[in-house]
Structure 1
Amino acid sequence: MEDLLRSLRGLGLQAPNSEQLLELLDQEPESQRRLAQLLALQSKDDNDDSLLTKDILDAGVQALFENFARALQKEKELFKSELNALAVPKPIKTVPRKALLARQAAEIKRMQEAWAASEGYHPRLIFDGGDTYHSTTPLSQLKALSVRNLKAPARHVGSFLLCRVVSCLNLYVGCTFIVEDSAGDAVPVSVSHFTSNLKLSIAELSSLLPIGTALAIREPYLSLNHASRAGPASSKSVIGIRVDTPTDIKVLHDDDALLSDVTWKESLTLPAASPSLKHLKWLQRFSGKSYHSSDADSAAAKDAAHVFRAQGRTGAAYRVVSAQQAVNSSADAELEELQCQLLFDAGAYPEAFEAMSSTTSPSSAMATLKHKSQGLMTEAGQGCSSARVASFYFTSQLSDKARLTTADFVGPVTVRDIPGAGRGLVLTREVEPGELLLCCRAIGGSFAADEGCSGIPVIRLNLEDGLISTTTQILAATNIIHCLIDRPNLALPFLGLTAGPKLPVSKWAKQPYPLRWSNVPPSALDEKDELDIDAAYVDGVLRFNAFGPGQISRKSDPKAKISGGASSNAAASIPEMTGELGRATMPHPLPAILNHSCLPNVSSVFFGDVVTTRALHRLPTGTEIMHQYVKGEQPYAVRSAQLSKHEFKCGCTLCVLDRGDGDENVKKRQAIMGGTLPALLERSRLVMKGQGGPEKEVDVDALHDAMRSLQALVQDLQHTYSSTRGYLRPELMHVHVEIAKICNCAGSLEQSIQVSERNAMLDEFCPGFELADIFWQSYLDALAVVGVQPRQGPSASSHTSSLTCDKMPDLHFDDALACMLSIAKLYLRMEDTESAVAWTRTAFWAHECMINGGVEVFMDRWGQDETYADVLHVWQTA
C-alpha cells in the first residue's frame, strides 16, 4: 500500500477514497481498469503543458495497480509458506544489531515523510490469517530463553524472552521496534493493538515504551513475516517476533527479581527523561504496591493518576489514588476529589455520590459533580427522560463521534436461555408501546471520525479466507483490549458474549450473564488476577455482537450534519469516510444479548455511543424481545445471506411467511424488487419532474401510464404471496406510496388546466372517483401492508371521519410516519383540520414509541422538510 500511495503522489494523483480502497482489493482486471481510469481523471495537476497526458496517466496508474496486485499475491505466498513451515521450524540466523537499528530508523523516516506528503489522508493496509496467539501461563511458570534459542516459524511454548527496547517505535496500525537480550543479540518485534491513536508522534510513542525499557515476552511467536499484522508490510520475508495481544508483554522494573542478576552486554545511551516521564514506571505497572508514605510519593501519585486519566485509563488511575490514600497518614483533599472524579468517570455514580458526601472539604466542583451523580443515579433507576433523549439526539447531530454521559438503565427484562438460540432477554412484566427497556453506553467503541484515526482508513485482509475488516472494527478491538486491561471487572460482560460459531466459547461465556455489573475499578490488582486476553476472541465478539449503527438523522436530508462534526472541520483534501470504512463499531454488551428477528418487537436507536431500546407493541410477560441484525424490509434471499455468518435459519414470522410463499414466488418477488420496481420508480420520478411550469404542457398520458404500470406491478407482487399470508406484505409499501405521489402530482396541476380538461383528466385517472380518493386510499394501503390499520373504515365519498391508528407499524417505520403525515396533509387541503391534527398526532405518537425525544426531536426530524411544514404548524398550534 505504501509503495502505491507514494507512486500515486508522484504522478500528482489523489489517494483512493474510502470506497475505492475496497475496490483495490478486487482483483478482477475490468474492475481494476475502471478504478485506474477514475483515479487518472482526478489529477491535481492543472498545468496544460504537463507531459502526462490522460492516456499516459491511465497506463501509469494501471501499471501501479498491477504492481499492487503482485504485492498482494506475494503476501499470500509468504503466508502459505509460513503455514507450511510451521511443522519444521528452523534456528534463525541473527541479524547484526546495528543493521536492525539502521533499518528501523529508515522505516520511521519513510513513515514520517509519507505522513507529511499525505495532507492528512493516509490509508493503511495490514494482513492476518492463521492462528492468533495469546499466552495464559504466568511468567513465574515460564523458562527464560535468548534470541539465539529462537526458531522460525514457531511459538515458543513454556518460555519467555527477557529483553529491552533499543530503538524508537514505528507506528503504522500496530507498533514495531527492536529489542535485544542480555547477550546483545537483537530481533524486531511487532505488537498488534498497541494503541488506537494512529497519530502519535515519535516522542509520544517513546513516552509509552522508551528506549531501555526491560520486557518479558511470554511464549513469543517468531514469524517469517512479523510485520504483516502491524504493518507496514513489505512483501518480503522479515523474521521477527509477532505479538498478537499486548497482554503477552510484561514491563519489568528495577526491583523485579528477573533483573536482579542481569548484565546487559551492550551499553545503551538513554534519552533524557522529561518531567512528564518522571513516573513512567508507575504508569506502566497499573498497581500501587510500591508506594510509600511521603509527601513526594503523594505528589507523584497525583501526577501519575492525572496522566492515566488523560489516557482514559480510569482503573489504573483509581488504583494509584487508592493505594496512595491507604498509606497516607492524614487526609488529602486533592486525592479525595480525584478519587471521586474517577468513580464518576467509571460510571460508578452511587459510589461517587457516597464518596463525595464524605469528603473532608468539598469544593464547588465536587458539589456540581455530586449533583450530576444524583441525577444519573435517578436515571439508572427510572430511565432517561424525553428531555434527556432530546439532548442525546442533538448532541449526536453536532458530532459524528459523540460519546455521551448517561447511566445504564435496565428495564423489566431478564436474561434467559432460549431453546436453539443461546441467551436472550425476556420481559418480566407486560409493557406498553414506547416503553423504555434498555439504555446502554458502549464499552470501548470506535468512530471513523475519532481524532486518533480521522483521515487514516485502515483495511485488514485475512489472507486465509479473504475476510476484510475495516478501521473501526480493528481499533474497537484495540480499545476493548486496553479497556479490559484497565478495568478487569468488564471482562464478564464483554468476554461473556460468544465470538461466532467457529471459536469455542470463553470461560466467561459459561458463567451466568449479569443484567448489571459493578463499575467500580478494583482497588488493587494482583498479578494472578491480570487478564490474558485473546485478541481473536475480542475480534469475534465484535464481529458477531457489536453494532455498526448509523445515527438517527433528519428526514429532509439524512446525510446532513450540523457544523461542528469532524467531517465539517476536516481539511478539504481528506475524503469523508463513507460506506464500510465510515461505519462505527459499538460494543454494547447487554443489548448484544438480544436475538434477531426480521420482524422486531423493539426499536433500537443509536445516539452517539448510546443505544435505547423501546417496545414497539404491547407485549405480554415472558415475551422475548428481539431486534434486527438485518433489515426486514430487504428481500428474503438478501436477509438469509446476511444472516449466514451466524449459521442459523431465521424463524421469525416474516421469514416463515416468505418461505410459505414457495421458492418460485420468492424468486419472482425478488426479481421484481431488484429489477422492475427500481426502473418504474425512476420512470415515475422523471415523469413527475417534467410536469407543470409556465412553459410546460401537462402530460396527462405520461402520468396515467406511470400510475397504471405501478398498479399492474402491485398485482404482479400480489400474485407472489400465498392466499393465507395475511396483511404483512412489506414489498408493496413503496409501490403504493409512489401511486399516491402521482395522484398528488396530478391534483396539484388542477389550477393550470381548464375545467373541461380537468374533469377529463380526473376521469381518465380514476373513473367515478376524485383524485383525493385514490391518493388517500394508496397511503392507507401502504400503511396496511406493514400492519397499521385505521380505527374506522374508509368512506369512498367522504373524508370527514378522523381516521387515526393506535398500532405501530411492523416494518418501514419512518416511511409509515411519512404516510401518516401525507394523509394529514391531504385532510388539511380539504380543510378538515380536525382529521389533519389527529393524523399528525398519531405520527407523533408513533415517533415517540420508536425514538422519543418529544416535540423538539420530532420537529427537527420532520419539520425541516417543506412537504410537511404546513400540517406540522397546524398541529403545533391546535
Structure 2
Amino acid sequence: MWSLQDSLANVRRRMEELLRSLRNLDLSAPNGEQVLALFSEYPHVDKQLAQQLAVPARLESSDVKEGIDAMMDAALLSGATEAMLQNYNRALEKDTELLHNEHKQIYAPKPVKRVPLKALLAAQHATIRRREEEAKAASENAPFYVVRQINDTVHTFYSTRHVAELTRVDMDEFAVPKRLEGRYVLVRVASPLSLYCSCSFVGQLPSGAAIFVSIAYFTHDLSLPSDALNALLPIGTVCLIREPYISTNYLGVGGPISGGKGAVGIRVDTPSDVQVLDSVAPILQGVVWDSPCEPPAPPTRILWRQEGPLTRVVQHQLAQQRPVHVPDVAKARVHESIRQLLLMERPGAAWREWQAAVLAGIWNDPLACEDALLKFDVLFALHTYQAALDAIALDPPEALLSEYTHRKTKVTSAMQSHTSGPSDALLQHMFAATLTQSTPRFDYAEYVGPVAVQDIPNAGRGLVLTKDVKEGTLLLFCRAIGSSYSADKGCCERQILRCDVGRGVSSTTTQVLAAARCIHAILDRPELAHPLLGLTAGPDIPHDPLVQAPYPLRWEPPSDPQAALEAATPHVSSAYINGVLRFNAFGPAPMPAAASAGDPMANSTMPHPLPAILNHACLPTVSSVFLGDMVATRALHPLQKGTQIMHQYVQGELAYQTRQKLLAKHKFVCKCGLCERDLGDGIAQQRTREELLATMLPPLLERSRALHKGGFAPASSGTDLLKAHREIAASLLAFVDNVQATYHSSRDALRPDIVDPLHLAASHTRLSDPVKAIALAEAAITASGAVLGSAQGRAICQLPYVHFDSAMECMLSLAAFA
C-alpha cells in the first residue's frame, strides 16, 4: 500500500533532451536505479550520476573509443554529462512554473487566437516523427531505459454532467486557461494520432477552427503501432468533449516535459469526458460543418470506447422510450462485434452487445450451440463462472463436442476456489507460475470468507469476522482490478516516470498504466465503479459519494438485458483513481520472474479493492500472499467473531520512527501492540536502536552476503574461511547485544530488530558449532513472535507476528542444521 516517494522541491529535469544528448555523446541511457537517482534532492548525486553515465555505450568498438579519446578525456566527459543534468533541471523547473502559473491565470483567462490548420498539422507530424525516433532509440538502447517523463498536477478536471445538461460551444467562446463549465465541444479528428502517455491529435470544430486535443489515460498499451493507434480514432471521427479545459499546455499531464514551451489546446484529464459519435448520432443533427467530411468507417466498426453497433441502436431506442425494433440484423454480424470487443479487452461492452441482441430477439430459445459458446466466452471474461457453465449445459452435437469439452474443463478449473477457496494444490500451482511467468494473471473464482465490512471508530471502514476462526483459515482470495506488470506488452520499452509536483510524489510505469486500466475497466463495466471509487483516495482528496454507500463484497454485471443497457456510464476522476492507487493498492512490488527482477523500475501495481478495506497494524492479524494478480489472506492466529482483521501497510520489522514516517501520508499514528512496546522502551532507547540499525547493520549485512556468495563450504575447506565465518558471526552477535540493550527489561520476546541478525549469525556459526547455530535460529524464531514447541519437535505452536519469511527460513535452517 505504498507509493514510490521523493521530495520534488529540487527536482528539475527533462528526460527527453537528456537522453538525446547522452546518445549524441555515444553514452548509455540510464538503467532503472540511475533513473530513480535523478530524483534525489542532493546536489552531490548529480555529480556521482554524471560519473556513472559518462561511459561510452560501445567501448567494444575501437574506432569509437579512439574517437572519444581524441575529443575529450573521462573528466571532461563527466563534466559534460553533469552540465546536461543541470540543463535538464532547468527545463523541468520551467514546466513546473508553467503549471503553477496556469492555475493562477485561470481566474483571468485570455481569448484563444486561431492557428491555421496547416500549421497545426505540420507540428503534429513533427511530433509523430519524434515519437518514432524515440521508439527506435528505445529498441537500440535495450535493456537500458529510455524513459518518458511526465508532469502531473493536483489541478485536474472531470465532468459529472450528462450531455443533455450542456450546450455546445465553439472557438469564438474559448479562453485560456479556462474550463468551459456547462458546455460541450464537438471536434473532428483531423490528423493522425500521437501517443506519448496521453494521446494527442489536431481537432477541427464545426466552425472550421483547429486546435490541439490531448486525452490522458487514452490506453494502457503504449506500444501500439501507428496503424493500430490511428484505427481507434481515424481521421474524420467526431468526438464530443464534456466541459472541456482549454490549457496553455494541452500536453501538461500526459506529454513530455517541454521546458515551459507548451501549446494551447484542449486538455482532457479523463477518458470519461469523451464520447465518440456516429455520423447519425442525434446530437449531430442540424450541426453544419465548415468543411464536410465523410464518416471514417462503416457503422459496424467499433472505435475507441464505442459500444457495439447493436448496443448503440438499442440504447437510443430505450432512451427515446420506443419499442426495441432492429430489423434484418445478421446474427453473424453480432457474433463479429462481440468477438471484436473481447479482443479489445472490453467484456462489459461485449455483454451489453449480447443483451442488446436479446432485446432485439436475435437469439433463439434455446440457444444454438455456436451462440452458447459465444455467451460462455463473454461470461467467462466477466469471471461469472457459474453463469458461463450454465450457458453450455446442453449436450452439443458431435462437431462441437471438443469445443464444449475444452470450455467445461476451463470453467471447472476456474471454479475450484468458488465454495471454500483454493486448494493447496492450486495454490502451489499458482506459486510456481508466479515464479516463472513475468505477467501471471489467473482465471480462478474469487472467495470471500466469514468477513463483513463495518465502520470502525476513528478508522473509517474495516473488515471484521462474522464467526470464530482458527489460525490459517482462508478469509479472502481476491483478484486485482487493473493489474499492471512492467513486462506487459504495453509497458515494455515504454518506461514512465511521473512527477506530481503539488504532492511531492513520483510514480513509475505500472502505477500510471494501472490507472489507465482501472479507468477503462470502470467505463467498460459500471459495476466496478463502486469497488474502486468506493475506496478513499487519501486524506487530501474529498471522498467520492460512493464511499458513503455500503461497500459490496461481490460485484457482477446486471443479468437483466434492459438494466445492463440502461446502466449509467460512470464519471471517473483520474486524480481520484491515482489517489486510490497511491493509498489503497498493493504495490509497486517486485515480480520474481520479471526479466529485470530487483530493478525498482520493474515493479507491478495491484489494485485489490476488497483487501484494500483492511486497516493497518504493525502487528497484523492476517497474512497476505500475492500469487500473480490474486491475493490470498489467512488468519495468523485464532481470532474471535467481531475481531477486526488487519494487515501491514508498512513492515513491522522497521524501526518505530521509520514506520510512523511511512504511515504519515495516511494521516494517522499507529498504536498497535508493537508500537506500544516500542514506546514502552523510551524515546532515547528508540533513537539509539534506530541509529544502530541505520549505521551498524548495513555493513554487516554486506559482509555476510559477500561471504555467502560462493555458497557454504565444508569445515575442512580451510582455517581462513572458518575464521571469516566466526568473525562475522561474532560481529552480528555483538550487534544483537547492542540492540538488546535498547529494549526495556519488562519487554516480552517479540523483538523484530534482531531476527535477521540472529538468523545470519546462525548461518555463519553452523560451520563450526551446529549446536549453537540451532540455538541462534530458535532465538530468531522466538524474536519474531512465534512460539516453539518441545525441544525434540521444534514445531511452531504459534505463528510469528512479523518477519514471516525470515521465520520460515529459520525453520528451514533448523532442519538443515540438524
Q: Same fold (TM over 0.5)?
A: yes
2:635 corresponds, among 597, 615, 622, to 615
Alpha-carbon distance change, 785 to 191 in structure 1, aligned in 2, over 3 angstroms: same
2:277 corresponds, among 252, 275, 290, to 252
Aligned length: 774
Whole-Å Cα distance in 2 between the matches of residues 75 and 281 of structure 1?
33
1:366 corresponds, among 404, 425, 432, to 404
2:743 corresponds, among 705, 714, 721, to 721
How big is the shift at 1:528? 7.2
SS of 1:79's partner is helix
1:354 corresponds, among 390, 401, 407, to 390
Query: How many percent identity over aligned positions?
Result: 39
Q: Deviations over 1:36-78 (max 9, x none)?
A: 1111124224333213432342233223222211111110121
Matched, 1:227 2:227: no
Alpha-carbon distance change, 85 to 626 in structure 1, aligned in 2, over 3 angstroms: same
SS of 1:211's partner is coil
1:153 corresponds, among 151, 166, 177, to 177
Q: Which residue of 1 aligns with 2:757?
A: 735
Whole-Å Cα distance in 2 between the matches of residues 687 and 215 of structure 1?
63
User: Is 1:598–1:627's contact at 8 Å kept on the other side of the alignment?
Assistant: yes
How big is the shift at 1:583? 1.6
How big is the shift at 1:20? 1.5
2:801 corresponds, among 803, 810, 832, to 810
SS of 2:788's partner is coil
Alpha-carbon distance change, 494 to 637 in structure 1, aligned in 2, over 3 angstroms: same
Matched, 1:345 2:381: yes
1:290 corresponds, among 276, 298, 313, to 313
Alpha-carbon distance change, 162 to 706 in structure 1, aligned in 2, over 3 angstroms: closer
Whole-Å Cα distance in 2 between the matches of residues 632 and 488 of structure 1?
37
184-193 vs 323-332, greater mean Cα deviation? 323-332
Alpha-carbon distance change, 430 to 677 in structure 1, aligned in 2, over 3 angstroms: same
User: Is 1:122–1:457's contact at 8 Å kept on the other side of the alignment?
Assistant: yes
How big is the shift at 1:629? 0.9
Taking only aligned residues, the RMSD between alpha carbons, in angstroms, comes to 2.6
Q: Structure 1 regions of 5+ residues with no counterpart?
A: 553-558, 568-575, 748-770, 795-800, 828-878
Whole-Å Cα distance in 1 between the matches of residues 138 and 700 of structure 2?
44
Alpha-carbon distance change, 651 to 387 in structure 1, aligned in 2, over 3 angstroms: same
Bigger Rg over Cα: 1
How big is the shift at 1:263? 2.1
Whole-Å Cα distance in 2 between the matches of residues 597 and 320 of structure 1?
46
Structure 1 segment 82-161 matched on structure 2, within 5 A: 82-119=102-139, 122-161=146-185
Structure 1 segment 852-863 matched on structure 2, within 5 A: none
Matched, 1:445 2:454: no
TM-score, normalisation: structure 2: 0.89
Whole-Å Cα distance in 1 between the matches of residues 644 and 237 of structure 2?
53
Matched, 1:23 2:37: yes
Structure 1 segment 616-631 matched on structure 2, within 5 A: 616-631=636-651
How big is the shift at 1:781? 1.5
Whole-Å Cα distance in 1 between the matches of residues 35 and 765 of structure 2?
44
Matched, 1:237 2:273: no
Q: What code does the residue aligned with 1:142 have? A: L
Whole-Å Cα distance in 2 between the matches of residues 588 and 453 of structure 1?
20
Structure 1 segment 641-680 matched on structure 2, within 5 A: 641-680=661-700
292-301 vs 215-224, greater mean Cα deviation? 292-301
SS of 2:601's partner is helix
How big is the shift at 1:18? 1.7
Whole-Å Cα distance in 1 between the matches of residues 152 and 469 of structure 2?
46
Matched, 1:4 2:27: no
Q: Which residue of 2 aligns with 1:307?
A: 340
1:535 corresponds, among 565, 569, 574, to 574
How big is the shift at 1:811? 1.6
Matched, 1:481 2:501: no
Q: Which residue of 1 aligns with 2:586?
A: 547
Q: Which residue of 2 aligns with 1:336?
A: 372
2:509 corresponds, among 468, 471, 475, to 471
Q: Deviations over 1:331-372 (max 9, x none)?
A: 254333212210011011122122222588674323432344
User: Is 2:363–2:371's contact at 8 Å kept on the other side of the alignment?
Assistant: no
How big is the shift at 1:782? 1.5
User: Is 2:311–2:565's contact at 8 Å kept on the other side of the alignment?
Assistant: no
Whole-Å Cα distance in 2 between the matches of residues 330 and 417 of structure 1?
46
Matched, 1:776 2:774: yes
Alpha-carbon distance change, 282 to 470 in structure 1, aligned in 2, over 3 angstroms: closer
How big is the shift at 1:397? 1.7
Q: What code does the residue aligned with 1:483 have? A: A
Q: Deviations over 1:585-634 (max 9, x none)?
A: 11111111111111112110111101001112222222211111111111
Q: What code does the residue aligned with 2:645 have? A: I
Q: Which residue of 1 aligns with 2:10?
A: none
Q: Structure 2 regions of 5+ residues with no counterpart?
A: 1-14, 315-324
Q: Which residue of 2 aligns with 1:873?
A: none
User: Is 1:319–1:521's contact at 8 Å kept on the other side of the alignment?
Assistant: no
Alpha-carbon distance change, 715 to 249 in structure 1, aligned in 2, over 3 angstroms: same
Alpha-carbon distance change, 350 to 739 in structure 1, aligned in 2, over 3 angstroms: closer
Q: Deviations over 1:214-241 (max 9, x none)?
A: 1211111011111121213322031111
Q: What code does the residue aligned with 1:736 have? A: L
277-286 vs 600-609, greater mean Cα deviation? 277-286
User: Is 1:18–1:577's contact at 8 Å kept on the other side of the alignment?
Assistant: no
SS of 1:605's partner is strand
Whole-Å Cα distance in 2 between the matches of residues 738 and 398 of structure 1?
28
How big is the shift at 1:488? 0.4
Alpha-carbon distance change, 328 to 728 in structure 1, aligned in 2, over 3 angstroms: same
Alpha-carbon distance change, 372 to 772 in structure 1, aligned in 2, over 3 angstroms: closer
How big is the shift at 1:398? 1.9
How big is the shift at 1:440? 0.7
Whole-Å Cα distance in 2 between the matches of residues 810 and 461 of structure 1?
36
Q: What code does the residue aligned with 2:340 have? A: V
Whole-Å Cα distance in 2 between the matches of residues 333 and 786 of structure 1?
58
User: Is 1:346–1:520's contact at 8 Å kept on the other side of the alignment?
Assistant: no
How big is the shift at 1:580? 3.8
Q: Deviations over 1:134-177 (max 9, x none)?
A: 00111111111101210000101011112211111100001011
Whole-Å Cα distance in 2 between the matches of residues 381 and 5 of structure 1?
53
How big is the shift at 1:211? 0.8
How big is the shift at 1:696? 4.8
Alpha-carbon distance change, 234 to 717 in structure 1, aligned in 2, over 3 angstroms: closer
SS of 1:41's partner is coil
User: Is 1:393–1:607's contact at 8 Å kept on the other side of the alignment?
Assistant: yes
Whole-Å Cα distance in 2 between the matches of residues 426 and 629 of structure 1?
18
Q: Which residue of 1 aligns with 2:452?
A: 414
How big is the shift at 1:551? 6.3
Whole-Å Cα distance in 1 between the matches of residues 734 and 571 of structure 2?
62
SS of 2:254's partner is coil
Whole-Å Cα distance in 2 between the matches of residues 520 and 365 of structure 1?
27
Matched, 1:399 2:437: yes
Whole-Å Cα distance in 1 between the matches of residues 803 and 724 of structure 2?
29
Whole-Å Cα distance in 2 between the matches of residues 157 and 385 of structure 1?
54
Q: Deviations over 1:71-130 (max 9, x none)?
A: 111101211221221111111111111111111111111211221232165310111113
Whole-Å Cα distance in 1 between the matches of residues 762 and 288 of structure 2?
85
Whole-Å Cα distance in 2 between the matches of residues 810 and 462 of structure 1?
36
Matched, 1:637 2:637: no
Matched, 1:215 2:239: yes
Alpha-carbon distance change, 145 to 710 in structure 1, aligned in 2, over 3 angstroms: closer
SS of 1:659's partner is helix
Alpha-carbon distance change, 181 to 704 in structure 1, aligned in 2, over 3 angstroms: closer
How big is the shift at 1:269? 7.4
User: Is 2:232–2:303's contact at 8 Å kept on the other side of the alignment?
Assistant: no
Structure 1 segment 167-206 matched on structure 2, within 5 A: 167-206=191-230
Q: Deviations over 1:159-197 (max 9, x none)?
A: 111221111110000101111111100110111000000
1:458 corresponds, among 488, 491, 496, to 496
